[in-house]
Amino acid sequence: MRLHRPIKNERNSYISTMCGIAGFIDFNKRSDLNRLKKMTDAVIYRGPDDSGYELFDDSKANIGFGFRRLSIIDLSPLGHQPMHFVEAGLTIIFNGEVYNYAEIRKELEVLGYSFKSGSDTEVILKSYAQWGTDCVSRFIGMYAIAIYDEKKSQVVIFRDRAGVKPLFWYFNNDLFLFGSELKSFYQHPEFQKNINFSALSHYFQRGYISAPYTIFENTHKLLPGHFLVINLQAKTVTQKKYWDVTDCYNQPKLNISYEDARAEVERLMLSAFQYRMIADVPVGVFLSGGYDSTAVTALLQANSTKKIKTFTIGFEDPKFNEAPHAKEVAKHLGTEHYEHTCTYKDALDIVPQWPDIYDEPFGDISGIPTTLVSRVAHQQVIVALSADGGDEIFAGYQKYFNGVRRQQQLEMVPGFVQKLIGSLIPNATGADIAVQDKRSKLKDYFGANDAVRKFDIVSQAMTFYETQKLFNKDIQYLPTPFDDGSLLNNSNDLLSKFQATEYKTYMVDDILQKVDRATMSTSLEGREPFLDQRIIEFAARLPTEFKYRNGQGKYILKDIVHKYVPRQLMERPKMGFGVPLETWLKVELKDMLMDVVNKDVLQKQNVFEPNQALKIRDSYLAGKPVDFQRLSYLFLFQLWYKKWM
């Protein structure tokens, strides 16, 4: 039996789909609408315009669906969520956008479906009614979707292919929770906040926790390109894959001319970029003046009769100020350009807000300028296009090329000899935790099975062994796609393997998490035009020399950009905002550092071995050699712990 007990919406404007979602499946039947409302309203900034909360009474469980809505498409009451398809026994909540919903709708209309709204939410719901879980293969977009299928007695939860939209889930003691952010779970009294120290090791190694793991036990990130099926009768949770970038790279490489490839890449990019301009509210583009953001801006402006709104933040320090370059690009392209100069005080003020924005430990402090530009853009638009993914798709990172060179040099040493070297290197048990243990890193490097794992080890801030030392606990090694290099077949060279792996790791759990939380914290929808699956499905099959040529990465992308912007305007050293956290923690933020990293706090927490953590802090304050990344990760973790634990 279904019990609809909705709490009324807060406003009269409704839209299609950008929001935050939260919900539960409680097999103990103790969760109620009040708990659902608290979980959902914990992410009110993701959707300040509208709300919906409904409880359903399945024979085996209470099911709660909650949403917060940010108005983007279909500004009518017909787009409200949770949305029902009563005849099929279906209910949906949905965070994101399905950009090709109009085409899918036409296909469904031919099959006899009628529509009450102009929203993509209704199209998703009726696509599921027609095709079941296979419906997702038709979607182009970013999404976290939850569907209660009453007739099949199941709940199905999808995450988009690239992982643009987040989805967390928890299952313990017959309680299943899901949501866009962890802070929704904090509002449920039966959620157990037990730290997963093995996952915390990931954070100190890389600055983020790799999917499917999270900071807590029994708590997971739904992998990109996957969906969950929660069987309400059997009380089981099954995860299934519907898309994987590895499969794109394992396809045979294309026999295609460079000119034809360049034309097709440009065509696919234009289609993807234009899809992400669909909205009933103002849309803009983050423009740094680099190749990726310039590609988005140039193709859109060249094919638009209206001026595209572009946004750049500048900084007072000329070493980090990209604003003049972005302004020149915007002037050349003829956009409606907005520029705001941020002071270091603007950036400094975000640090105390860090655990509110990032409710799981997160160490990438470039989230500060990303938050700043989001705040500037939100003054003019509700939707902003970011240009993430270009480096992973078209081979733009220098670390890829360095990794290839290292591996080529290492191939002169037989694999069994490398492993022997690794086994003979002792861990430096007495090494100073404040600085990098080179012996520990070399031991891991030579002991690694393949080049992809070695690539990961080189970039780690701490080794797995060092994190064990910091925690003074026995922890388990949790594998990531960096351990799956063998899944990429021999049609892929090393460069392709690095790209494919980082598309599933660093891009998802660092870059996309950073942008999602930064934009949503300001009630701004961030869209990722490069992450249309059609682009990577084509680019993954291109010969490597189309992407990396004559020592230059992103060759084909740059070639396309040069059709619209002169080479001399583009070719300049890559910049970026250098957040001076290393200086702040000695002066402006020293009191905050001492407040969260001190002996009393550390002993009470029982997370770190206090003497090891204090050694990192004290070496830094005394001006001794220190790997500052270790201190910043420690400091940001402690801010998170103080806020949420």
Residues noted as catalytic: 19
Ordered DSSP codes for 377-427: HHTT-SEEE--TTHHHHHT--HHHHHHHHHHHHHTTS-HHHHHHHHHHSPP
Angle at 410 between CA 404 and CA 412, to 5 degrees: 125
**Residues 82/33, Cβ–Cβ less than 8 Å:** no
Dist CA 21 CA 82 (whole Å): 10
Question: % helix / strand / coil in the chain, to the nearest 5?
Answer: 45, 15, 40
Q: What letter would DSSP give residue 498?
A: H
Q: Are 98 and 205 in contact (CB under 8 A)?
A: no
The answer to whether 614 and 597 are in contact (CB under 8 A) is yes
∠ CA 407-409-415, rounded to 5°? 65
Which ranges of 42-182 does DSSP label H, i.e. alpha helix? 101-110, 120-131
Please name the amino acid found at residue 555: Y
Amino acid at 430: G
Which residue is listed with tokens 């705001």? 340
Q: Which residues pair with 51 in a beta bridge?
A: 68
User: How would you classify residue 313: left for phi > 0, otherwise alpha for psi between -120 and 50, otherwise beta?
Assistant: beta
Give strand pairing partners of 64.
Answer: 24, 55
H or E stretch covering 325 = helix 323-333
